[in-house]
Amino acid sequence: MEKPDYKQYRNREKLRGGFLLRIIFAICVLAALIYCIYELLVLKTPAS
C-alpha cells in the first residue's frame, strides 16, 4: 500500500521541479530576447 503512494509523491515532486525549471528557463529566454532587442535599438540609434 505504501509503494504506490511513494511513487505518486515522487511523480508529483518531479512535475513540480520540471515546472520550476521551465519557469526559470522562460525567464532566461525572455531576458535574453529583451537584451537583444535593447542592443539592436541602441545600435540602430546614432550615438551623437
DSSP 1-48: -HHHHHHHHHHHHHHHHHHHHHHHHHHHHHHHHHHHHHHHHHHHS---
d(CA 11, CA 14): 5
**Tell me, what's the pLDDT at 24?**
95
Q: What is the pTM of this model?
A: 0.53
Type of residue found at 39: E
pLDDT in tens, 4-38: 677 887 778 777 788 899 999 999 999 999 999 99
Residue-range domain boundaries for the chain: 1-48
